[in-house]
Structure formats: structure tokens, C-alpha cells
């Protein structure tokens, strides 16, 4: 491995001078700078970040902790985050939590050990509080994306869940639905809680009735959807829903599949809409009506806030950025479309 000592020897200067050249210190004569740079080129020297971090206390590495990189929603967040991080010279360390708090916890420990400069996280839910406290205790800045955790303050960028839910419900009501079910994420996740609250609020505002059975609490990335949907479709007491609102793309798509297995037609027999587009590439034949959240912006803005925080350029007060989503009406909620 080529070190500053090798360069120094060959250039007949001290290692310190080499270090200064590398770091573009102002106080270097043009002559020595050129000489040193030539030798750096010649020996193909690359600075060792590990060593540098040991004294500088910064690694220029930030981490993105998300539930699942294979979900297009988080993938798009990752893309936005990566673009911004790259722009500021930070590298991105990726972590998948699979919506499991313990996996998340282990990741946080690894990140702490790796001395990352900051963390952009979509926390699994309330249990995240414990490991987020670890970050806070060690003064590692972090920013919430998509979800937040009660009891711990941090900058936050998320979708406007209330507004988005209202839009989706309004659309369904407009289509004539009076009995709408919600298949939600786990109540420990802030976005699920907010969507549930906004959902019932919206129903009431539209003068609609709802029963507890109309709202199902499940998971964002795995569950037995056939059973869930079947139970929903066999509701007799409070009446069978004519529309289902799914709290994310994964639930949405799996609801469609379950309905198909039951030989129910969408939208003829039942309408379906969801949060987040399941299509990463704008598609030719999209089907599902969705409220598309600006995932790229979430990643981009979240990373921007994080970097500002890391570099001490952020205001003392924590910021909260609410991003609007776009209602994309497609076939799954419209019967009268050619």
C-alpha cells in the first residue's frame, strides 16, 4: 500500500507536506505542490479514509436504513438519497430491516461501530425508540423518512398522510362507495396510525358509517392476505365493503391477488386503491389506483436535511417536511373507463 510516507520520501519532503497537498492546504508553495502531486500520480496513491477518520472524526459515510430495498417505494427513496449523498461526497451504507425491530437494532450497532456520520431512517415502529436513543446519545445525527417515532425528536420528511388519505377516500366516495375497508400497516408504525386516524376522520366527514371490523391491522411486507381479504369479504354484520383501501403498495398488490383467487373482479365486484405506486418504471398498462408519494423527493430532501445536520448547517429546531402525494386514478377503481 502506498502511503504519504512513500510519497514524502520520493519527493524529499516531510509526510506532513504531502498531507497538506492532499488536503489542499493553502500554505503550500506552488513548486512543492506540483512536485508532490506528480509523485502522487506516478505512484497512484489513494488516501486511506480509515486512517483519516481516526483523527478527523468523520467518515463521509451516511447510512440509509429502510425496511426493504426490493420495494419500489423505498428503492426510490434510496435513489433520491444516494443522488444527494453523492453530490456532497458522502457514500451510502445500506441496511434492510425487513420491518423487524431487532434486525434494525443490530444494524444500528453496526453503523455506530462503523462511525457513520449520520443516518436516514424509515423506522420499523415504536420499538425503534431504544436504538434511536443510542444514536442520539452518541450524537450521531439522524433524520426520519416516511415514518417517525414518538418520544424522540429529529428532522422528518414524510408524506402528508391526512391529506392523502382524504383524497383517496374522497375519490372512492365519488365513485359511489359507501362501505370502505382499510387494510392497514401495523399500529406501531406512525404512518399506519396516521392513515387509520385520517381514514376514520374522512369517513365521518363524508357521513359514512364504519365498524371496527372494517379496519384490519396487518404488516407492510408480509402476511396472509388471502385470509385477511376473505374475512373482509365475508363480513355480514356490518356489511361487506365495496371498496378496499390498502395502506401501501405491497398490501395493495396482494389484495388484488387475493381477490382474484376468490374470483372477484376488480373494479366490478370491488374497487381497490392504495398508497404508493407499485410500478418503479412508469408502466404501459397500469391498473391500480394509487396515491403516489414523492419517494424520490423524500430520499433527496431527507438526505439534504441529514447532511445539513451533520455539517452543522441546520437550524437548532427540528424540521418537519410534509410532502403532498399525487392521486393517480386507474382502472381498479373505475368501472366506466373504456
Partner DNA sequence: CTGTTAGCGCCTTCAG
Partner DNA sequence: CTGAAGGCGCTAACAG
Interface with DNA (CB under 7 A): 1, 3-5, 12-17, 19-20, 22-23, 25-29, 31-33, 47-48, 51-52, 54-56
Return the HEC string of the chain: CCCHHHHHHHHCCCHHHHHHHHCCCCCCCHHHHHHHHHHHHHHCCCCCHHHHHHHHCCCCEEEEEECCCCCHHHHHHHHHHHHHHHHCCCEEEEEECCCCHHHHHHHHHHHHHCCCCEEEECCCCCCHHHHHHHHHHCCCCEEEECCCCCCCCCEEEEECHHHHHHHHHHHHHHCCCCCEEEEECCCCCHHHHHHHHHHHHHHHHCCCCCCHHHEEECCCCCCCHHHHHHHHHCCCCCCCCCEEEECCHHHHHHHHHHHHHCCCCCCCCCEEEEECCCCCCCCCCCCCEEEECCHHHHHHHHHHHHHHHHCCCCCCCCCEEEECCEEECCHHHCCCCC
CB of 63 to a second copy, least distance (A): 9
56 is in the binding site of which of DNA, a second copy, none (Cβ under 5 to 8 A by kind)?
DNA
338 is in the binding site of which of a second copy, DNA, none (Cβ under 5 to 8 A by kind)?
none
Looking at beta carbons only, is 73 or 210 nearer to a second copy?
73
Determine if 96 is a binding residue for a second copy (CB under 8 A): yes
Determine if 230 is a binding residue for a second copy (CB under 8 A): no
CB of 169 to a second copy, least distance (A): 22
Determine if 49 is a binding residue for a second copy (CB under 8 A): yes
Residue from 12, 14, 23, 48 touching a second copy (CB under 8 A): that is 48
Residue from 15, 47, 186, 324 touching a second copy (CB under 8 A): that is 47
CB of 233 to a second copy, least distance (A): 16
Residue from 7, 8, 40, 61 touching a second copy (CB under 8 A): that is 61
Determine if 278 is a binding residue for a second copy (CB under 8 A): yes
**Length of the chain, in residues:** 338
256 is in the binding site of which of a second copy, DNA, none (Cβ under 5 to 8 A by kind)?
a second copy
323 is in the binding site of which of DNA, a second copy, none (Cβ under 5 to 8 A by kind)?
none
Determine if 50 is a binding residue for a second copy (CB under 8 A): yes
**End-to-end CA gap in the chain:** 67
23 is in the binding site of which of a second copy, DNA, none (Cβ under 5 to 8 A by kind)?
DNA
Residue from 26, 282, 312, 315 touching a second copy (CB under 8 A): that is 282
Binding region for a second copy (CB under 8 A): 1, 44, 46-51, 53-54, 59, 61, 64, 68-72, 75-76, 78-79, 82-83, 86, 91-96, 109-110, 112-115, 134, 137-138, 249-250, 253-254, 256-257, 260, 266, 278-285, 287-288
Amino acid at each position: 500500500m502506498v502511503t504519504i510516507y512513500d510519497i514524502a520520501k520520493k519527493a524529499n519532503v516531510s509526510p506532513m507536506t504531502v498531507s497538506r497537498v492532499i488536503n489542499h492546504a493553502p500554505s503550500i508553495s506552488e513548486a512543492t505542490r506540483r512536485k508532490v502531486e506528480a509523485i502522487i500520480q506516478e505512484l497512484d496513491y489513494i488516501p486511506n479514509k480509515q486512517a483519516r477518520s481516526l483523527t478527523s472524526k468523520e467518515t463521509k459515510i451516511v447510512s440509509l436504513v429502510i425496511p426493504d430495498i426490493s420495494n419500489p417505494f423505498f428503492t426510490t427513496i434510496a435513489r433520491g438519497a444516494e443522488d444527494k449523498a453523492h453530490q456532497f461526497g458522502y457514500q451510502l451504507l445500506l441496511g434492510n430491516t425487513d420491518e423487524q425491530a431487532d434486525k434494525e437494532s443490530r444494524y444500528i450497532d453496526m453503523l455506530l461501530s462503523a462511525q457513520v456520520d449520520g443516518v436516514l431512517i424509515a423506522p420499523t415502529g415504536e420499538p425503534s425508540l431504544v436504538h434511536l436513543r443510542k444514536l442520539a446519545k452518541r450524537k450521531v445525527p439522524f433524520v426520519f423518512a416516511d415514518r417517525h417515532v414518538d418520544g424522540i425528536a429529529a428532522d422528518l420528511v414524510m408524506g402528508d398522510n391526512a391529506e392523502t388519505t382524504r383524497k383517496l377516500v374522497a375519490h372512492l366516495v365519488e365513485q359511489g362507495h359507501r362501505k370502505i375497508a382499510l387494510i392497514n400497516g401495523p399500529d406501531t408504525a406512525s404512518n399506519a396510525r396516521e392513515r387509520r386516524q385520517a381514514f376514520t376522520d374522512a369517513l365521518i366527514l363524508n357521513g359514512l358509517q364504519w365498524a371496527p371490523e372494517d379496519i384490519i391491522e396487518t404488516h407492510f411486507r408480509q402476511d396472509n392476505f388471502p385470509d385477511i381479504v376473505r374475512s373482509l369479504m365475508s363480513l355480514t354484520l356490518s356489511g361487506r365493503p365495496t371498496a378496499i383501501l390498502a395502506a401501501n403498495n405491497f398490501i395493495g398488490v396482494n389484495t388484488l391477488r387475493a381477490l382474484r383467487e376468490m374470483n372477484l373482479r376488480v373494479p366490478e365486484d370491488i374497487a381497490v386503491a392504495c398508497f404508493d405506486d407499485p410500478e418503479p418504471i412508469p408502466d404501459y398498462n397500469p391498473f391500480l389506483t394509487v396515491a403516489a408519494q414523492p419517494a424520490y423527493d423524500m430520499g433527496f430532501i431527507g438526505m439534504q436535511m441529514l447532511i445539513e445536520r451533520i455539517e452543522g448547517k441546520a437550524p437548532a429546531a427540528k424540521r418537519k417536511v410534509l410532502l403532498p402525494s399525487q392521486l393517480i386514478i386507474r382502472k381498479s377503481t373505475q368501472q366506466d373507463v373504456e
